[in-house]
Structure 1
Amino acid sequence: MLALLSPLAAQAQGAAAAPNDDPSYRKEFVYGLNFNTRGGLIGGLSVRSSRVLNEKWSRYWSIEGVEVKHPKERRLPSYNGGSFVRDKANYMFVLRPTVGVQRVIFRKAPESGVQVNGLFGAGPSIGLLMPYYVYYDYTDRNSQGQATGPDDIRAEAYDPQKHSNINLIFDRAPLFSGINEVKPYVGAHVRGALSFEYGRYRDAVAGIETGFLLELYAKRPSIIRSLNVDDNTINNRFYPSVYLTIYLGSRS
């Protein structure tokens, strides 16, 4: 009897010791902070929802909101202690809905370790151009630069012809001064990335996602404008970037 039971017991122990590749969750929702080579200190925010298809593959949708800056933007101090970005004509904010797939490259142990995933996605890019407003000093002055009348400082959308004397730019105006003049620009993007997930518990996840993004617009958005220079020669339709997103989320 012992001789018959011994092989069965050994087989049962082997099955218990074998790793279970089937994930213990079916949905994942994460939100994160984006940093990219086209943005400022903080690029923007993103959310992603994933549904598990099998032990290796998931499909996901995400949406990301970022600000895109021109590489030639340069912040200068103004004469009164404020600051402005030289030649900046528009802010460019972009919404990027994405659908894609995710594949597990290396699955972590149930309670520890790091899981490595590969992601690929694509979708439309909705660029929103909002005029960049500055305070410009129209005060009458004599040849010595002394005011000969009351202060006359106006908030206006930056125009390189109208505001050619940057020494008279008093400061930048509040961010949403031109919100009623927003113009949409439509494009498309693709992205590829690796994510490194750490989740000590089954229903929680944290990690980073790093990858590249290629974005192309049907029309050329004018982020900067310069005096006597054609907008098309200093602005682009194609915006490649490298990004990193730090995220937290939950699973169910």
Structure 2
Amino acid sequence: MYGLSVGLASAQSAEEEESYSREFTYGLNFNSNGGLLGGAMIKQVYHMGGKWYQFWALEGVEVKHPKESRVQNYNTGASYINGKSNYLFVLRPQYGREYTFFRKAAESGVQVNGLVAAGPSIGIMAPYFIEYDRSNYIEQQGALYLVGPLIINTEQYDPNVHTNNFFIVGAPGVFKGLSEPSFRVGANLKAGLSFEYGRYMESVTGIEVGMLVEAFAGDMTLMPNASNRNAFFSVYLTLYYGRRR
């Protein structure tokens, strides 16, 4: 009887380990091209058999130029990104495969997966606008005096046109640029490892780390006076949470 009980317990434990067929997660992405917070992702995983899984994912991130630096106008207190002409936001639908190296026990432990994924990259280029002082001034004894009305125009930043930073009074924000988007088509490929935690089998909390490369067709000028490229490489970390069944 004792041996039969042990056998049943082992079979039950193995069944618990294989007890989920789907997993849905969502999380925040941090990457070397996105600054402090890169973007967000959602992911749906399906069990294929054994230790293999397939998944569909969607990532939305901002890609920044490595030369970006924020400057403050001390007269107005507002800030802007010096030399930036365009934002780049990217949507990445992906299909991938996962392999489980170490499986998490039913109520504790860590599960380690290896993964690869690929898919199209939909680039959204949005103009970066600044508020530029177009008023008339005269200079007397080293000081500027306003002549006539104050004229502040909202214009796409071109460092070859807006050469005097003194007259850049601020930036209206990203939503202004998103009202005038243009699109680029590309592709991406990533590889990584995920480490899943969770008190119970149906709960998923974890991190994913890896590398991603993507390339686009067309003009990808983010900063006119800096070196721009069509291919981007990044390392990333994603914090995610979800459920499985």
Tell me the equivalent position of 1:229.
none
Deviation at 1:171, TM superposition (A): 0.3
Question: What residue in structure 2 maps to residue 20 of structure 1?
Answer: 14
Give the Cα separation in 2 of the matches to 1:146 and 1:23: 76
Conserved? CA contact 1:220–1:235, under 8 Å: no
1:24 Cα deviation after fit: 0.7
SS of 2:94's equivalent? strand
SS in 1 for 2:179: helix
Give CA deviations for 1:53-91 in whole Å, capped at 9, x if unaligned.
Answer: 123010000000000000001111114211110110001
Q: CA deviation at 1:128?
A: 0.3
Of 114-123 and 8-17, the range deviating more from structure 2: 8-17
> Is the CA contact (8 Å cut-off) linking 1:129 and 1:182 kept in structure 2?
yes
Q: Which runs of 5 or more structure 2 residues have no equivalent in the other structure?
A: none
Report the TM-score, using the length of structure 2 for normalisation: 0.92
| 2:229 equivalent in structure 1 | 236
Measured after TM superposition, the shift of residue 46 of structure 1 is 0.2
Letter aligned with residue 130 of structure 1: A
Aligned partners of 2:219, 2:156: CA distance in 1, in Å?
A: 19
Alignment of 1:170 with 2:164, yes or no, is no
Aligned ranges for residues 125-140 of structure 1 at < 5 Å?
125-140=121-136
Letter of the 1:74 partner, please give it.
S
Structure 1 position 234, deviation (Å):
1.1
More displaced 10-residue stretch of structure 1: 69-78 or 201-210:
201-210
Amino acid at match of 1:16: A
Partner of 1:73: 68
Residue 29 of structure 1: CA displacement?
0.3
Contact 1:33 1:44 (C-alpha < 8 Å) held by counterparts:
yes
Q: Tell me which amino acid in the other structure corresponds to 2:35.
A: G
Matched positions, count: 239
In structure 1, give the amino acid aligned to 2:122: I
How far did 1:218 drift? Answer: 1.8
Aligned 8 A contact 1:90 1:131 in 2: yes
Q: 2:107 aligns with which of 104, 111, 124?
A: 111
Q: Percent identity?
A: 45
Q: Say if 2:116 is the partner of 1:120.
A: yes
What is the CA distance between 1:238 and its match in structure 2?
1.0
The DSSP-based 3-state class of the residue aligned with 1:108 is coil
Could you tell me which runs of 5 or more consecutive residues in structure 1 were left unpaired when the two chains were aligned.
1-7, 227-232
Q: What is the TM-score of this pair, normalised by structure 1?
A: 0.90
Residue pairs, 1:14-53, within 5 angstroms: 14=7, 16-17=9-10, 20=14, 22-53=17-48
Contact 2:105 / 2:201 at 8 angstroms: preserved in 1? no
